[in-house]
Structures are given as structure tokens and as C-alpha cells.
Amino acid sequence: MADVALFMADLALGLLLGCVFAVIAHGLNLIWGVAKVVNVAHGEFIMLGAYGAYFLNLWFGFNPLLSVPVDAAIGLAVGVGFYFGFLHRELRGKESMGLQSEMVTLVATFGLALFLINAVQALWTGNNVGIPWSPGVVLVGSIQLPLGGLYVAIMSVAIIGLSHVFLTKTYLGNAIRAYSQDIPATQLVGINPTFTAAVGTALGFCITMAGGALLTVWLPTGIFPAMGNLYAPISFVIVVLGGPGKMWGSLVGGLTLGVIINVGQLFVGSIALATAIGFLTLIPVLLLRPEGLLR
Amino acid sequence: MRLRGIRSFGPTLWGIALFLVVLAGTAPWIPVFLLTVLIQLLIFSTLAYSLNLITGLTGYVSFGHVVFMAFGAYALAFAVGTFHLHPVAGVALGALVGLALALGIGGVTLRFRGVYFAIATLVVAVAASYIVLEIKELGDGQGIILNIGFEPLSWFYTIWVILAIEVILTYWITHGRIGYGVRSIKSDEDAAKALGVNAARVKLFLYALSGLFAGGAGGVYAWTASGVFPQAFDLTFSLQMLAMIVIGGMGTLLGPLIGAVAVYIPSYIFLTVLIGFQFIIIGIVVTLIALFVPEGIVGSLRKYIPELRGILE
């Protein structure tokens, strides 16, 4: 009986953690879906979002949830810069991304990742920092859930839901989806491809950095320059699990990975092994359902 | 008037050979401190050539290459620590482990193309490091400390032989019959398949070779460090290898060597001044090269100075 309770508690924690995984992967998913580019420096922007929340807490006493909109606004600006710095040259005037362009962006964003990690380390040292904020626990049935994690999960689902509404109900959102499907056709109906792609990329960065701020609630002492080396693979796996470019895919992939890691550690006895298993689910999914778990 | 034999191999291979032979001939008289720097440089060159075999020649970007090096290092440390093998046998074992691992990983991941391959190799490398660090026999996340003396000349000649074989193999692959298949895969894999190139086999062959050499280099790395630590799985090694071939010139014969010198020597100088600072600069350089001169140093020289095309490759 006790085992069932433990299982349920880990399942609930896994679902909560999965929500925040989903939102950090969602930013990558948008960029991947719209610009057809994989941002290797994705983990580093999560890290920057987390540091943003940390400094807002240090200077102004913001809690991580309050710093989400600030991080999101910074993310928009960073995203526009990223689009014109890295993607515009490769995407401009092309109808689809060739393997050559793909390799250029992979290597270029990898250089960016190397730069960001070490620049942050030089600026703010490599020591672990964290935000001392814990709003307590709440009892659901017999399961204790961290209230902070619950807030984060609600906000994560809200962010993904809002981005879905934006992409399906507004003119600009529809333009972004059209761009991701067929570039020449969008130009024929009078949509400016550069503007659309820039907005899509900026939105991706906005969500990524907001996700970094949300993630800090789960990391009482886990903000450090190389944290992206863990969260970038997590995001890649989630996006592939859900299917690149599918907006609900991030949520499905995130919840799957969160549950595998949290429930898996019950069975294999260590969080590292459970994470490894969660990562390796990528291979069968790519082999059997390359379009992702969602239809 | 050139000698026929020299002409047929091309000046680049002769240049590298001369460089290596001079190094080997003078090694016993090089001061020990300088020799250890050279050994590290040769280890990194071996790693760069090994990544060049798959990423440079076929265009499949592998972000997880460090996994072969780390497994090679762990294989040597385990074999020497537990069975008291001679370190050279340990290096050979490391290379074989790298080969076997590459066959296993490559057999699955080489089915994916472009970003999917890059992501799959990265994720497999991270997962493998988590698994190895949990195994008690392999030091339980603490690494294995060996006590095998300080013999820089043995280290030097071991890694020298590995690098020499690797350069010759790279030459043979780019100039032999298989080279046509490799180049056609890089430019258009579907067209290559339609023309009868067994793409899956060629890619797996290259990936296995690159795993073999990276494993051997990892073995020598563990030998010089007299042990192995979880840091051997640090993705920074993957990134350095990629930086070396990007800066030097992907898919060229001389590029990885130039890249290894260009990345490693400044790192070494910076290391004593400000740790981590070198990566800020390497990061910027890699980004700029990838965006503006994707051919790297050797490729650009060939592109802009036509006279060099017959000499550099």
C-alpha cells in the first residue's frame, strides 16, 4: 500500500515537473517549427532566463513567477536579435532549408552556446545560485505537493495554451503557421516572410526565457552557467517525442519525460539512470514514429 | 620537374608526414614540459581527425563524439587498474571499445539525417555518461585513479602512431574509390543511393573508424592523466573537436591539424591566465566562421587563392 502511495506521489510530481519541462521545450519547438532551425544554444537561453529571475529576486525581491513577464519581454528582444544575427542570412529568399544551411546554423549556434556559457561564468562565476522562495506544500488527498511547483505547472500550461490561441486565432499567428508550412505560398498572399519569421523566432525565445524563470522554482540551488547541458537535451527529447512543430506536442512530450524520470527512479533506484532511460526513449520514437507521438 | 612518387601523394600528405617525422625524430630531445604540451596537441589532433571522418567527410554533425573518447579512457583505466594490462594494450582495448560502441550507436543513429542525427548523438552521449557514472566497477562516479608512472616518450610514440595511421587512412578514404561514395553522400545522399552507393555501409564504416580512433585517443588521454574522471564525459571535449574541424576546414586533409593547433595552443596559453576565457573567444570565432566562411581556414585558402588548390587539400 505504501508503495502505491509512493508511486502516486512520484507520478504527481512527475506531472508537475513535466509541465515545466514542456514550457522550456515549447520555445525550442516554436523556433524549430517556424524557422526549421534547431537552436543548439537553447539550453543557454534557459540558463539566461534562470539568471534573469535570480537577479530580479536579488535586486528587487521578485519571486520567480513575477519575473516571468520581465524575462519574456527580454526574450522577445533577444529573439529578434537572434533571428537577424543567425537565421536571416540562411533563410532569406529560400523556400526550404537545405542540409548545408542546417549544418551552418547547428555549428553557429553551438559556437554561441560555448560563448554564452563561458561569458556567464566569467561575469557571474561558476558557483551554483538559487532563489530562496518556497510557498509551502498543499495536501491533495494523501499526497503532498509543493505549492510552488503547482503554480509553475498552472502557468506553464497557461503559456502553452496562450501561444496556441495566438497561433490559431490571430492574423499574425495564422501567418506564422502558414510560413512554417509553405513559404512561397505565404509570399503570394502578401505576407512579409522576414517579419513573420522574426516574430515566430522572437516568440520562441520569449517562451524559452520565461520557462527558464519558471524552472528556478524547481531549482533551489541549481542555477549555474553549464545548466543548459542538462536542459537542452531534455528539450530536444521532448520536442522529438511530441513532434517538431506540433504545439501540443511539447506538453505531451514534457509530461511523458517528467513521468518517466520521476516514476522511473522508483524502479531503477537513481535519478541519473531514470534520466538516461528518459533520454533513450528518443531512439525508438525516432525509429518507429519519426513524426512524434501525436498524430 | 617533380618526382613521380611525390606528385602522386600530393604535397599536403608529404607536408604532414614531414611534420610528424621531424616530431618523432626530435622527441627524445624535446624538454619534458614542451613534450607534454605536444602530446596533448597530438591527442586533440587525433580527436579532430576522428570527428572529421564522419562530420567533415559526410556532413553528419556528431555532437556526442566525446562518448567514444570517454569510453576509451574508461576502458584503459579499467583494464590497467583491474587486470594490470600494459597501458599500450589498454589503449588498443580502448580503441576496440570505441569501435564497438560506434558500431552500436551508428547502426541506429545513422538512419537519421541532419539535425535528428546531431540530437540523437548528443542525447545518447549524455545518457551513456549517466549510466557509466552509476556503475560501481567503474569508480561509481568518482573515476578510477591509476598508479602508472610518468613516461612521456611512450605516451608520445603511442599517440604518434595512432595519428599517423589516422592521417593515412583519411588520405586513403578521400582519394580512394570509397571517396567518390563519401563525397556523393555529402552532396546528396538520395542521389548517391540511386547511383548504387551503399550509403548505410559507407557511413557506418566511417563512423566505426572514427569511434576506433577517438577511443584510442581517449585511452592515451587516461594514460597521460594516470586515471580517468567523470570529466572525461564533459561535452566541452565534443565542442572542442567540432571547433577544431570548423576552424581548420571540414573534410580537408590538413584542416583538423591546423584547427587543433589553432584551438589548443591558445587554450593552453589562456589556461594559465584566465580559465574559461579561451572558450569565450573560441565560441565567437566558431560562430563567425560558421556564418561567414563555412569552409574554414584551409577551405578558404583554397577558395580565394587558386594557386594553392593543387597544394592544399
Residue B240: all three cell numbers together: 572542442
Asked if residue A76 has pLDDT above 70, the reply is: yes
Asked if residue B25 has pLDDT above 90, the reply is: no
Asked if residue B293 has pLDDT above 50, the reply is: yes
Domain of residue B213, residue span = 4-310
| Other beta carbons less than 10 A from residue A144's beta carbon | 14
C-alpha A156/C-alpha A24 separation (Å) is: 9
Angle, to 10 degrees, between the axis of helix B277-292 and the axis of helix B255-271?
Answer: 150
- Residue A122: its chain B contacts at CB < 8 A? 274, 276-277, 280
C-alpha A45/C-alpha A227 separation (Å) is: 10
C-alpha A82/C-alpha A73 separation (Å) is: 14
Q: b/e map of B207-235 (b: 16 or more CB within 10 Å)?
A: bbbbbbbbbbbbbbbbbbbbbbbbebbbb
**Contact predicate A212/A24, CB 8 Å:** yes
Per the DSSP assignment, residues forming a β-bridge with B227 are: B145
Domain of residue A224, residue span = 2-124+135-288
The answer to the question of residue A294 being in a domain is no
- Among the partner-chain residues A119, A279, A282, the one whose CB lies closest to the CB of B280 is A119
- CA dihedral of B73, B77, B78, B79, whole degrees rounded to 10: 100
Q: Which of A114, A224, A275, A291 to mutate to test binding with chain B, by most B CBs within 10 Å of its CB?
A: A114
Mean pLDDT of A24-42: 88
| Other beta carbons less than 10 A from residue B236's beta carbon | 18
A35, containing H or E segment: helix A2-35
The 8-class DSSP code of residue A98 comes to -
Q: How do strand B227-228 and strand B144-145 relate by DSSP bridges?
A: antiparallel
Asked if residue B208 has pLDDT above 70, the reply is: yes
Residue A78: all three cell numbers together: 533577444
Asked if residue B215 has pLDDT above 90, the reply is: yes
pLDDT band at A75 (very low <50, low <70, confident <90, very high): very high
C-alpha B68/C-alpha B52 separation (Å) is: 14
Under DSSP, is residue A168 helix (H, G, I), strand (E, B) or coil? Answer: helix
The 10s digit of each residue's pLDDT in B47-58 is 999 999 999 899
CATH number of residue A174's parent domain: 1.10.3470
Return the higher-pLDDT residue of B254 and B309. B254
Q: How do strand A143-146 and strand B144-145 relate by DSSP bridges?
A: unpaired
C-alpha B62/C-alpha B111 separation (Å) is: 13
Per the DSSP assignment, residues forming a β-bridge with B147 are: none
**Contact predicate A187/A58, CB 8 Å:** no
The 10s digit of each residue's pLDDT in B81-110 is 888 888 899 999 999 999 999 999 999 999
Q: How many structural domains compose chain B?
A: 1
Mean pLDDT of A238-250: 87
For residue B271, the model assigns a pLDDT of: 64
pLDDT band at A46 (very low <50, low <70, confident <90, very high): very high
The 8-class DSSP code of residue A137 comes to E
A7-11, B24-28, B82-86, B272-276: least confident range: B272-276
Q: Do A110 and B111 touch (CB under 8 A)?
A: no
For residue A212, the model assigns a pLDDT of: 93
pLDDT band at B6 (very low <50, low <70, confident <90, very high): very low
Mean pLDDT of B254-267: 87
Asked if residue A112 has pLDDT above 50, the reply is: yes
Per the DSSP assignment, residues forming a β-bridge with A144 are: A139
Chain B residues near any Cβ of chain A (below 8 Å):
59, 61, 63, 108-109, 111-116, 118-120, 122-124, 126-128, 130-131, 133-134, 235, 239, 242-243, 246, 274, 276-277, 279-280, 282-291, 294
Angle, to 10 degrees, between the axis of helix A147-169 and the axis of helix A171-181?
Answer: 80
Cα–Cα distances (Å) from B107 to A205, A282, B99, B111, in that order, read 35, 15, 12, 7
Q: Do A118 and B114 touch (CB under 8 A)?
A: no
How long a stretch of residues is chain B? 313
Minimal-distance CA residue of chain B relative to A272: B130
Tell me phi and psi for residue B232, to 5 degrees: -60, -20
> Mean of the per-residue pLDDT values for chain A?
88
For residue B24, the model assigns a pLDDT of: 86
Cα–Cα distances (Å) from B244 to A86, A195, B72, B77, in that order, read 21, 35, 20, 27
For residue B275, the model assigns a pLDDT of: 63
Under DSSP, is residue A129 helix (H, G, I), strand (E, B) or coil? Answer: strand
Query: What type of residue is A123?
Result: L
Q: How many structural domains compose chain A?
A: 1
- Please state the pTM of the whole predicted model: 0.89
- Among the partner-chain residues A99, A113, A119, the one whose CB lies closest to the CB of B59 is A99
A277, containing H or E segment: helix A271-280
* Interface ipTM: 0.87
Tell me phi and psi for residue A137, to 5 degrees: -120, 160
- SS3 for chain B is CCCHHHHHHCHHHHHHHHHHHHHHHHHHHCCHHHHHHHHHHHHHHHHHHHHHHHHHHHCCCCCCCHHHHHHHHHHHHHHHHHHCCCHHHHHHHHHHHHHHHHHHHHHHHCCCCCHHHHHHHHHHHHHHHHHHCCCHHHCCCCCEECCCCCCHHHHHHHHHHHHHHHHHHHHHHHHCHHHHHHHHHHHCHHHHHHCCCCHHHHHHHHHHHHHHHHHHHHHHHHHHHCEECHHHHCHHHHHHHHHHHHHHCCCCCCHHHHHHHHHHHHHHHHHCCCCCHHHHHHHHHHHHHHHHCCCHHHHHHHHHCHHHHHCCC
The 10s digit of each residue's pLDDT in B133-144 is 888 878 777 888
In percent, the amount of chain B with pLDDT more than 70 equals 95
Q: How many interchain CB pairs under 8 A, A with B?
A: 130
CATH number of residue B63's parent domain: 1.10.3470
Asked if residue A65 has pLDDT above 70, the reply is: yes
